[in-house]
C-alpha cells in the first residue's frame, strides 16, 4: 500500500487492485455493523470522524484486541481489517500476544533455574520474532521496539524480588505487541501511532492488581490523548498503567478489557468493542459445551455477574466504567466479525429466567462453627473484621444457627492475598475452623431468577452431584453453588443441557 505515515496527515485508506479483498471484507463488515447500529439508532460513517462531543459523548469507539487476536501475524492481519473497516475506532487497546504474559508470569518466579529462565525468555522472543519476520518496521517503531526488547531481556535475566519489578516485567508483553500492531495498521494505509498508555492510565500502587484513578486518568487523557484523536488511530496497551511515582502497574490478569473501558470513559467514547476468539458471550464456555449459543444482548448486571463468576471472555471490572458512563460494550470474534456478537447495554434484559451458566474453579470453603453463636450477637462482625484485617475478600456467605460458611477465590490469577495461617489462627481463637479446597463455584446467571418451575428442574439435575453450598437471593441475577472441582465440568454440561439448550435466551 506504500503510505508513508510521516507524510500522512489525513486519516484515510487507499485501495489498489491487490487490496480488493479488503474492500469486500470491509463492505461485509460494514453491512453487518451498520445493521446492528441501525437497530440501535446510531449513525455510522465511512468518513474521517472528528472528535465531536455530543452531549457528553463523542462518536468514537475504543477497540480492544485480546491475546488471541494478536497471537501471530495472521491474527494481527484479521484484527487490522476490523479497524480499517470501522472509521469510528480511534483507540486500539491491545493485549500481549497469546502466551507471552504466561511466560512473563513464570519469569517472576524467583526459584527458576537458569535453563528454565532462558526457556521463558526464548518463548517471549520467539513469539515476537515470528511476527517481526512478516513485517518491516518503520524507523521510529524499529528503534523503540529494539530498545524495549533489550530492556525486557535485561530485566528478565535477573531475579526480581519486588511486586513493582514484577509489574514492570509483566508490562513488556503489551509494550511489545503494540509496536508490531502499529506497523500492521500502517501497512494497511492507516495513520497509526503507538502511544504509551502509562502516560494517561493512572493507578494506585497496588502492584499486581492496581486500582485506577479515574479522575487523574480523565485529566491526563484530555491533555495528552484526546488532542491526538482527530486524524490518527492510537495503538496503546491494555493491562498496564502507572502510579503517581511513574512506576509501572498492572490491573490483574485479563485486565485489558478493563483498560479499554477506562480509556473509553476518559475520551467520552460511545462504545467499546472487545474483539476475541469467540463470536460473543455464550450461554456457557463454548469450549465446554458444543451446544452453547451466543447471547445477542445482555444487561450490564447480567454481564457483570457472568464475568465475576467465571466467564473468562470478559474481565469483571469492564462493566464498571461502561455502566457509570453509559458506554455500550460489544464482544465479537476478530476472525469472524461479520457473524456479530453480544451487545451489553444499560437496558434491562427483556427475558426473565436463566440465560447462562458459568464456573470458577479453585474455590475455598471456610466453615466457622461456634456454639457461642447461638442467640449471641457480634460473631459475624468478629469474623469479617479478621478477614478484612488480612485483606481477604469474601464471595458467598451462608449461615446457620451456629455456623457460617464462606467461599474465597483461590484461583491462580485471582491476585488476592491467600488465606494464610495467621488468619486461620486468629479465627480459631473463638471458633472451630474447617477449610475445604478444590471446589468450583457454579453460577446460574439471568434476570429475575426465582425458583419457579423450570428453575426447580435444577434440583433434579443436581441430585446426581454432591453440592456443598447453595446461595440464592442476594441478587436476582444469580444462583450459585459449590461442587467438587473434579465434577464441575459435568455439572455445567448437565445444567446447560437440561436448562439452557431448549430455551436458551437469545
Ligand atoms: N460464557 C462464555 N462465552 C464465551 N467465551 C467464554 C465463556 N466462558 C469462557 N469463555 C472463554 O473465553 C475465551 C476468550 O477469552 P480469552 O482467552 O481471555 O480471550 P482473549 O485472548 O481475547 O483475551 C474463549 O475462548 C472461551 O473459551
Ligand atoms: N496480557 C494480559 C492482559 C489481558 O487482558 O490479556 P487477554 O486480553 O489476552 O486476556 C493477560 O494475559 O492477562
DSSP E strand stretches across 15-161: 53-54, 57-58, 61-65, 89-94
Residue 415: nearest ligand to its CA? 2
Question: How does pLDDT run across 180-221, given as a tens digit for each residue?
Answer: 999 999 999 999 999 999 999 999 999 999 999 999 999 999
Ligand 1 pocket (Cβ < 6 Å) reads 66-69, 95, 98, 254, 276-278, 281-282, 284-287, 311-313, 356
Residue 208, sorted as left (phi over 0), alpha (psi -120 to 50) or beta, turns out to be: left
pLDDT at 350: 62
Report whether residue 256 contacts ligand 2, using a CB cutoff of 6 Å. Answer: yes
CA distance 436 to 420: 14
* Cβ(446)–Cβ(353) below 8 Å: yes
| 3-class SS of residue 50 | coil
Dist. CA 173 → ligand 2 center (Å):
9
Interface pTM, i.e. ipTM: 0.99
**Average confidence (pLDDT) over 52-67:** 80
pLDDT at 21: 46
- The full set of domains in the chain, from first to last, is 40-277 (3.40.1160.10), 354-500 (3.30.2130.10)
Atom in ligand 1 nearest the alpha carbon of residue 95 = 23
Report whether residue 95 contacts ligand 2, using a CB cutoff of 6 Å. Answer: yes
**Which residue among 251, 274, 278 is best mutated to probe the pocket of ligand 1, counting the most ligand atoms within 8 A of its Cβ?**
278
Question: How does pLDDT run across 18-37, given as a tens digit for each residue?
Answer: 344 444 444 444 434 433 33
CA distance 48 to 8: 13
**Which residue among 277, 281, 316 is best mutated to probe the pocket of ligand 1, counting the most ligand atoms within 8 A of its Cβ?**
277
In this predicted structure, the answer to whether residue 45 has a pLDDT above a threshold of 50 is no
Report whether residue 144 contacts ligand 2, using a CB cutoff of 6 Å. Answer: no
Burial class (CB in 10 A: 0-12, 13-18, 19+), 376: exposed
CA distance 49 to 89: 9
pLDDT higher for 10 or 465?
465
Question: How does pLDDT run across 214-254, given as a tens digit for each residue?
Answer: 999 999 999 999 999 988 999 999 999 999 999 999 999 99
Query: What is the per-residue burial (b if ≥16 Cβ within 10 Å, else e) of 410-426?
Result: beeebbbeebeeebeeb
* Cβ(182)–Cβ(143) below 8 Å: no
Q: What is the CA radius of gyration of the chain?
A: 24
Question: How does pLDDT run across 156-175, given as a tens digit for each residue?
Answer: 999 999 999 999 999 999 99
Report whether residue 238 contacts ligand 2, using a CB cutoff of 6 Å. Answer: yes
Report whether residue 321 contacts ligand 2, using a CB cutoff of 6 Å. Answer: no
In this predicted structure, the answer to whether residue 394 has a pLDDT above a threshold of 60 is yes
| 3-class SS of residue 139 | helix
Give the Cα-Cα-Cα angle 209, 214, 217 (nearest 5 degrees): 95
- Phi, psi (degrees; rounded to nearest 5) at 467: -95, 130
Report whether residue 254 contacts ligand 2, using a CB cutoff of 6 Å. Answer: yes
pLDDT higher for 309 or 12?
309
Dist. CA 100 → ligand 1 center (Å):
17
pLDDT at 446: 85
In this predicted structure, the answer to whether residue 454 has a pLDDT above a threshold of 60 is no
**Average confidence (pLDDT) over 341-370:** 87
Compute the Cα dihedral for 210, 212, 216, 221 and give only its sign: positive
* Cβ(438)–Cβ(484) below 8 Å: yes
Atom in ligand 2 nearest the alpha carbon of residue 65 = 8
Residue 95: nearest ligand to its CA? 2
224 DSSP assignment: I
* Cβ(76)–Cβ(131) below 8 Å: yes
Mean pLDDT score of the chain: 86
Atom in ligand 1 nearest the alpha carbon of residue 71 = 21
Q: How much of the chain, in percent, has pLDDT values that exceed 70?
A: 83
* Cβ(286)–Cβ(292) below 8 Å: yes
Whether the full predicted model's pTM is greater than 0.95, yes or no, is no
pLDDT higher for 51 or 476?
476
Report whether residue 325 contacts ligand 2, using a CB cutoff of 6 Å. Answer: no
**Which residue among 313, 441, 443, 489 is best mutated to probe the pocket of ligand 1, counting the most ligand atoms within 8 A of its Cβ?**
313
Residue with cell 457483570: 304
- Residue ranges of alpha helices (H) inside 203-345 are 214-220, 256-266, 300-308, 319-324
In the annotated binding site for substrate, the residues are 101, 174
Amino acid at each position: 500500500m506504500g503510505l508513508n505515515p510521516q507524510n500522512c496527515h489525513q486519516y484515510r485508506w487507499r485501495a489498489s487492485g491487490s487490496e480488493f479483498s479488503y474492500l469486500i471484507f470491509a463492505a461485509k463488515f460494514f453491512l453487518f455493523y451498520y445493521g446492528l447500529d441501525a437497530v440501535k439508532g446510531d449513525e455510522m460513517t465511512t468518513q474521517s470522524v472528528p472528535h465531536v462531543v455530543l452531549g457528553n459523548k463523542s462518536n468514537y469507539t475504543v477497540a480492544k484486541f485480546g491475546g488471541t487476536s494478536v497471537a501471530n501475524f495472521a491474527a494481527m492481519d484479521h484484527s487490522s481489517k476490523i479497524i480499517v473497516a470501522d472509521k469510528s475506532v480511534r483507540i486500539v487497546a491491545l493485549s500481549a500476544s497469546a502466551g507471552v504474559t504466561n511466560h512473563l508470569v513464570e519469569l517472576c518466579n524467583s526459584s527458576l533455574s537458569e535453563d528454565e529462565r532462558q526457556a521463558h525468555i526464548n518463548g517471549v522472543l520467539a513469539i515476537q520474532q515470528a511476527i517481526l519476520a512478516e513485517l518491516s518496521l518503520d524507523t521510529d517503531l524499529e528503534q523503540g521496539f529494539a530498545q524495549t526488547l533489550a530492556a525486557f531481556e535485561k530485566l528478565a535475566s535477573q531475579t526480581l524480588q519486588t511486586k513493582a519489578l514484577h509489574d514492570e516485567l509483566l508490562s513488556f508483553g503489551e509494550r511489545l505487541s503494540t509496536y508490531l500492531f502499529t506497523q500492521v495498521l500502517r501497512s494497511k494505509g492507516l495513520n497509526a501511532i503507538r502511544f504509551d498508555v502509562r502516560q494517561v492510565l493512572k493507578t494506585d500502587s497496588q502492584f499486581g492488581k492496581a486500582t485506577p484513578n479515574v479522575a487523574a486518568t480523565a485529566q491526563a487523557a484530555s491533555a495528552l490523548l484526546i488532542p491526538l484523536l482527530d486524524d490518527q488511530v492510537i495503538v496503546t496497551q491494555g493491562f498496564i498503567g502507572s502510579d503517581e511515582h511513574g512506576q509501572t502497574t498492572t490491573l490483574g490478569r485479563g485486565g485489558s478489557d478493563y483498560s479499554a473501558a477506562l480509556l473509553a470513559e476518559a475520551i467520552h467514547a460511545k462504545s467499546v468493542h472487545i474483539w476475541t476468539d469467540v463470536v460473543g458471550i455464550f450461554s456457557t464456555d463454548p469450549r465446554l459445551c458444543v451446544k452453547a449459543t451466543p447471547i445477542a444482548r445482555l444487561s450490564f448486571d447480567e454481564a457483570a455477574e457472568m464475568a465475576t463468576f467465571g466467564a473468562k471472555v470478559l474481565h469483571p471490572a469492564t462493566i464498571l466504567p461502561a455502566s457509570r458512563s453509559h458506554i455500550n460494550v460489544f464482544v465479537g470474534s476478530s476472525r469472524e466479525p461479520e457473524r456479530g456478537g453480544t451487545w451489553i447495554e444499560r437496558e434491562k434484559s427483556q427475558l426473565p429466567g436463566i440465560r447462562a451458566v458459568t464456573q470458577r474453579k479453585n474455590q475455598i470453603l471456610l466453615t466457622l462453627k461456634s456454639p457461642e453463636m447461638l442467640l449471641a450477637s457480634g460473631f459475624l462482625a468478629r469474623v469479617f473484621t479478621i478477614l478484612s484485617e488480612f485483606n481477604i475478600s469474601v464471595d458467598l456467605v451462608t449461615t446457620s444457627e451456629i455456623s457460617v460458611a464462606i467461599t474465597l477465590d483461590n484461583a491462580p490469577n485471582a491476585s488476592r492475598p491467600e488465606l494464610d495461617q495467621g488468619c486461620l489462627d486468629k479465627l480459631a481463637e473463638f471458633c472451630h475452623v474447617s477449610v475445604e479446597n478444590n471446589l468450583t463455584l457454579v453460577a446460574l446467571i439471568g434476570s429475575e431468577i426465582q425458583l419457579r418451575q423450570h428453575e426447580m428442574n435444577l434440583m433434579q439435575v443436581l441430585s446426581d452431584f454432591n453440592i456443598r453450598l447453595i446461595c440464592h437471593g442476594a441478587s436476582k441475577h444469580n444462583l450459585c453453588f459449590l461442587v467438587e472441582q473434579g465434577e464441575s465440568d459435568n455439572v455445567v454440561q448437565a445444567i446447560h443441557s437440561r436448562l439452557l439448550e431448549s430455551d436458551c435466551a437469545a
